[in-house]
Amino acid sequence: MSQRRVVTGRSQEPRQRFAEELRTLRTGSGTSLRQLGERLGWDWSLFGKMEKGETLGSPEVVQALDTHYGTPGLLLALWELAAGDHTQFRERYRRYMALEAKAVSLWHFAVSVLPGLLQTPGYAREVLAAGGLKGRELEQQIEARMGRRELLEGEDTPRFRTILSEAVLRMALLDADAWRGQLQHLAEVAGRPNFVVQVLPFSAGPYGLDSTDVWFLRLPDGRTVAYTENAHRGELIEDSTAVEKLQGAYDAVRDLALSPAESRKFVLRMLEEVPCEPST
């Protein structure tokens, strides 16, 4: 079984970094461009243009390359950085994505929006559209986000825990069918053995992470790093003292949250509240 590959990173510009990684993977496998085209079913010249940085290709092509090289989600993550607004995806986020790809466990807290790794296409569509994306760019970002979910699928998956503020579950989508599908997916995920989903109810009162989404990544060398983000910026935190302080706040929130079993029941109750479409 292929191990999740780590982005070693030379170029700091997302588009160039993506092209470099494509070249490195292909040459490392001893495959020519023509052979790659024959194996994946696309014109080999497309892969040549992607490796030169002349085009990014589509999420479908990139996902096929991830499967071919045994790097689930890695190339799609790099593609998402390269395809997005570079002012949004600065070096700290690029480094976070590299660390996420090799993490052995991920702990997360959400203030108002589900993490991308748990989003369904319908949920991602409304959230991304609300952020101003539309047309082809919107479709590409949805496909890339769905591709990143491979990080939490299969045998070589990191352990994952998320604590969701009740506000996350109270902010329903405009599309009732899409919202129902998202809640069903969340309930299914909450039943998996390597997943822990907890809900922090409004009744818990004030808490220390009331304005910040946060991720904790446990790395193979035993280190833990954190990534915090709000609507305007994100910050990668690697200083051990700062990470420990954030972990203390996270532990306090976890103590206030419902148990995993009660949290799943909470999600199922939310699902029952979703209005059904009238029969025709």
115 pLDDT more than 60: yes
Mean pLDDT for all residues in the chain:
85
What's residue 189's pLDDT?
93
What's residue 78's pLDDT?
84
pTM higher than the cut 0.85: no
Burial class of residue 102 in the structure, from the number of CB atoms within 10 Å of its CB (0-12 exposed, 13-18 middle, 19+ buried): middle
Digit-coded pLDDT (tens) for 200-241? 999 999 888 877 899 999 999 999 999 988 655 678 888 899
Digit-coded pLDDT (tens) for 43-63? 888 899 889 887 888 888 888
C-alpha distances in angstroms, 53 versus 21, 44, 90, 116, 118?
A: 11, 15, 19, 26, 30
**Rounded Cα gap, residues 213 and 116, in angstroms:** 12
**Rounded Cα gap, residues 184 and 187, in angstroms:** 5
Q: Which residue has the higher pLDDT, 130 or 166?
A: 166
Cβ density class 27-65: b for 16+ within 10 Å, e for less: eeeebebeebbeeeebeeebbbebbebeebbbbebbbbb
Q: Which residue has the higher pLDDT, 93 or 161?
A: 161
- For residues 238-259, average pLDDT: 94
90 pLDDT more than 70: no
Q: How confident is the model at residue 9 (pLDDT cuts 50, 70, 90)?
A: very low
Q: Domains in the chain and their CATH numbers?
A: 14-83 (1.10.260), 102-115+157-273 (no CATH)
